[in-house]
Amino acid sequence: MSKIVNIEENVPHKVSEVICVRCGKRWIAARPTIVKLKDLECPGCGSFGGVIETGEVLEDYENNN
């Protein structure tokens, strides 16, 4: 039998609230730390390059990790 490995142990990731400056869609993005915001696709309008972090502190996430 193979050992089950939690993928999150091997891939540092970041969770933050982001917004698309093109359409205004806001969402919580969980992504590997090596992924740049400009590489995220907006689920609202499908564009790339317009996603920024809102600056909102996600206290529940920060306290648990």
**Global confidence as pTM:** 0.72
pLDDT in tens, 9-55: 677 889 999 999 999 999 999 998 999 999 999 999 999 999 999 98
**Burial degree of 47 (CB within 10 A; 0-12, 13-18, 19+):** middle
DSSP letters, 2-51, are PPP--GGGTS-EEEEEEEETTT--EEEEEEETTS-GGGPBPTTT--BS-E
Reading the block at residue 47, the tokens are: 């564009």
Cα distance between residue 8 and residue 14, in whole Å:
11
- What is the token pair recorded at 33? 């730390």
